A and B are shown apart, each in its own frame.
Chain A
Amino acid sequence: MSGAAPLLELRALSVGFRGGAIQAVDGVDLAIASGETLAVVGESGSGKSVTALAILRLFGREDGVVARGQVLFQGEDLLALPEAALRQRRGRDIGIIFQDPGASLNPVFTVGEQVAEAVRRHQGLATKPALARALELLREVGLSDPEARLRSYPHQLSGGMRQRVMIAIALACAPKLLIADEPTTALDVTIQAQILKLLQALQARTGMALLFITHDLALVAEIADRIAVMYAGQVVESGRAAEVLARPLHPYTRALLACRPHRGPSGRVEFAPIPGAPPRGRFPEGCRFAARCALAAEGCAAPQPLLAVEDRATRCHRWGLLA
């Protein structure tokens, strides 16, 4: 982070469910500047999606959610904001897209109606100009034959097209921050490549910040400026994307990289599963990855703070063995 205040800053964000009985996110610090892409990487249950939802407080009432810490957006704490004021931020300043665009669109309204609705709500336009703006947005997100698509229903579109429509809706209000939660996981690789390219092009033009949530480190190499790797509710490593991928400083990051089939030094395709499973519900006092870690030693039973290493951070006291 250079000089300028970040657009979004999470300070010691913790999120628990059932009144705090289940800890999903535990003391997360993150920051994103305008125009920057931060990828939050982790497995199911690592807390990466809960972190994203917490930024907009998108939780159902029944969850018994307890959120502590601060979510500072342009210096204002969103966690402390009343619901009405937060609704303003959602959609207008911060857009969000999810993995399954089919579930996010309303099946009984046309694509045009849904995009126009977003435009109307956030920019207060009348029906006609809203529809015209909707057409413009569909064109911007590269939907083929946008005039005809205005009258299409979601089920008439492919997964890739639906994700483009979701992006159009998220862009309707020119957000300063776009949160993308596994936006390409359900798509074919070819369409995934198109969507990533589209997000990058839109970001370059609008200068919005992008918070990209994924379980796939390989994807991160394509899109992220910086990475934060999450494990069992905590950030275990963060830094510039190229550096983290080339020289991980936490054994978990290294293990995640080794999981994905890749060409090894022998020229053969290799991959190495991580033994065991992440802890669920109750976490150990010390390093949460220790039970699965090849480098685990005595000191790992003590709580592990996030250590600064140059301009990076790792939650492993034995990082020197990796460097």
Chain B
Amino acid sequence: MSALLELDGVSRHFPQPRRGFGRRPVLRAVQDVSLQVAPGEVVGLVGESGSGKSTLGRVALGLLPATAGRVRFAGQDLAALRPRELRALRRQMQMVFQDPFASLNRSRSIGGAIAEVLKLHGLPHGTTEVAAALQRVGLEASDATRRPRQFSGGQRQRIAIARALAVQPRFLVADEPVSALDVSVQAGILRLLQEQRGALGLAMLFISHDLTVVEAMADRVLVLYLGRVMEAGPAAAIFAAPRHPYTAALLAAAPGSFRAKLDLQGEIPSPAAPPSGCVFRTRCPFAVAECTRVVPVLRNVEQRHAKACIRDDLAL
């Protein structure tokens, strides 16, 4: 299988303001993540706020350079490309954000916003193309002249999706695309993304803190915690039988879950000062002394299903 997107040992660090003398502290937002997305495949990225999901999504698109490791899209190393080449590649990689209120320019008509993206990539950008882009997401051609404020949150998210898909990308990063919406509106957006995936053969990195939503959308899932992969595998296997305590805790915390409660104490620590050893150990109900010393390697527990936990004796 040749991957469309390939991340190999990717890290992204952010330098922090220096405090006093000594070395400048760094915030390790993403640490040593490897990941492949095949053409047409949907990979779900889950984890709490501060887990590095959004940073990883931006690194995957080349919007943020990786501090270490390699990002390849369609075989091309993003770091080795000139700006002009990167821009050409960007047509194939698009992004949809959580907040459709912030991602649209309020003083410009939505048709204008879509035409602008088409023009930027040197594509035909007349009323026909704009109308096609709007109709694709269930809006009317006549909506093109209206401004963002005339639309509801769900409709605005449709407009953001129309804009992203107008250039016919092969890969979409959807960063919490339904988190700001009502449950009833979420379902419509999820169905739209599913349909477009089928119609365009779109591959996706689907980022969400809501596991039920990821379960509905993803073929494979990566569970992140403090920038590291805790567990990765087929969605069906992860949701039916999680192998990492953090995954199990996330699943149990989802409202309406039938899984036995596995309460996590406290909150995710600051990525500027992650715990030694296993980064999850400070909240893990199963942590043992060794967890403070070794950083667990991500190892296969089944074919294509891996976890980063030293304990194999847990019934999760």
A221–B258 Cα distance when bound, in Å, is 11
B255:A259 contact, CB within 8 angstroms: no
Q: Which of A73-81, A109-117, A185-193 contacts B (4 or more CB under 8 A)?
A: A185-193
B211 near A: Cβ within 8 Å? yes
A269 near B: Cβ within 8 Å? yes
A189:B186 contact, CB within 8 angstroms: no
Q: Known interface pairs A188-B49, A271-B216. Does A216 touch B211 (Cβ–Cβ under 8 Å)?
A: no
Chain B residue at smallest Cβ distance from A270: B216
Inter-chain contact count A-B, CB under 8 Å? Answer: 97
Chain B interface helix/strand/loop/mixed: helix
A222:B255 contact, CB within 8 angstroms: yes
A271–B261 Cα distance when bound, in Å, is 25
B255:A192 contact, CB within 8 angstroms: yes
What residues on B are CB-neighbors of A271 within 8 Å?
187, 190-191, 216
Q: Which of A158, A159, A269 contacts B215 (CB 8 A)?
A: A269
A193:B263 contact, CB within 8 angstroms: yes
A144:B183 contact, CB within 8 angstroms: no
What residues on B are CB-neighbors of A261 within 8 Å?
187, 190, 212-213, 215-216
Q: Which of B114-122, B139-147, B199-207, B246-254 contacts A (4 or more CB under 8 A)?
A: B246-254
Q: Which of A158, A216, A277 contacts B267 (CB 8 A)?
A: A158
A226–B264 Cα distance when bound, in Å, is 28
B254:A189 contact, CB within 8 angstroms: yes
B253:A43 contact, CB within 8 angstroms: no
A317 near B: Cβ within 8 Å? no
Chain B residues touching A, range? 20 to 34
A274:B256 contact, CB within 8 angstroms: no
Q: Known interface pairs A160-B267, A271-B187, A271-B191. Does A222 touch B256 (Cβ–Cβ under 8 Å)?
A: yes
A271–B263 Cα distance when bound, in Å, is 28
Q: Which of A158, A190, A274 contacts B187 (CB 8 A)?
A: A274
A125 near B: Cβ within 8 Å? no
Chain B residue at smallest Cβ distance from A221: B256
B187:A272 contact, CB within 8 angstroms: yes
A111–B19 Cα distance when bound, in Å, is 25
Q: Known interface pairs A144-B266, A271-B187. Does A44 touch B213 (Cβ–Cβ under 8 Å)?
A: no
What residues on B are CB-neighbors of A222 within 8 Å?
255-256
A189:B152 contact, CB within 8 angstroms: no
A260 near B: Cβ within 8 Å? yes
A18 near B: Cβ within 8 Å? no
Q: Known interface pairs A218-B256, A260-B183. Does A189 touch B216 (Cβ–Cβ under 8 Å)?
A: no
A43:B185 contact, CB within 8 angstroms: yes
Q: Which residues of B are in contact with A by a Cβ distance under 8 Å? A: 48-49, 152-154, 182-188, 190-191, 209-213, 215-216, 249-250, 252-256, 261, 263-264, 266-267
Sample of 10 more A-B contacts, CB < 8 Å, known A188-B48, A188-B49, A273-B191: A144-B267, A158-B267, A190-B250, A217-B183, A218-B254, A219-B255, A260-B187, A269-B212, A270-B216, A272-B187
11 contacting pairs across A/B (C-beta < 8 A): A159-B49, A161-B267, A188-B49, A190-B249, A191-B48, A218-B255, A219-B256, A259-B187, A260-B183, A269-B215, A273-B184
